[in-house]
Amino acid sequence: MLISAIRPIPDAAFSFVQAHEGCRLTAYLDSAGVPTVGYGHAGVAVHLGQTITQDQADDYLRQDLATAAQRLESAVGEACVTELTANQYAALLSFVFNVGIDPKWRICQLLKAQKFDQIPAELMRFVNAGGKKLQGLVNRRADEVKLWSTDEPGSVPVDPSSAYSRTVDTPPTASAAASNPLLKTWHYVLGLGSMGASVAAENAPKVKGVIDRTSDAIAPYAGHSAVVQGISDHLALVAACMAALTVGAMVISHQKAKTS
């Protein structure tokens, strides 16, 4: 283990960055015109024509990974960093080493909320540079996701064939649905249908009232935001379902009254 001020830096981080950066012992200008040497190391002490040994390159990488660790902790907090597995930590150190980190980024918000199941998809968004998607970045993010997912906490060490996974129920993890308020509302609507006509008749108008008030509140902003418009459209769909449940419950109640 390489030691940093925060927590031990996994050997996996060191070897991963080594493999993806490549090492040049003579300083050169990178694509941004910055003097660089070793495993992508830059700084005021680096200048063109400079040569270093392999041991110096390794030391520079240790320093840069320690800096990445400090930036990561500053962006997401010590509580998050301590909850990461060694492989998750290594994957994030590679990410920060490669692209940096900003506390305002969504990936930081997800990390602070410890919604770790959503991190792989978020990592794969960082594949653009200079206004273009770069295959090298796609490959690196994919490898970071693979490293992140190695020894996933709570998973059973089984490698099932596709023949097996296609024939059994494979729903998403509960946290994926629970983190989406629209999915939660939709599941509630579906739940009303299974609760029976009388319960649906009692609850549907209440939920519809909440939906109507929310829709009215965001309506003035729908034309200015695709996200708000999408929410508005989903709410309209849910409201229509609630109305259908209410009508259905009324019809069933009417039929029961006629037969009694």
What DSSP string describes 129-182?
ETTEE-HHHHHHHHHHHHHHTTT-TT--S----HHHHTTS--PPPHHHHHT-HH
What DSSP string describes 208-235?
HHHHHHHHHHHHHHHTT-HHHHHHHHHH
DSSP secondary structure code for residue 33 in this structure = S
Q: Are strands 24-29 and 35-38 parallel, antiparallel or unpaired?
A: antiparallel
Give yes or no: 21 in active site: yes
All residues at 6 or more sequence positions from 43 whose CB lies less than 8 Å from its CB, including other chains: none
Residue in 147, 130, 151 with CA at minimum distance from that of residue 139: 147
Round to whole Å and give the CA distance between 105 and 176. Answer: 20
Give the residue numbers marked as catalytic: 21
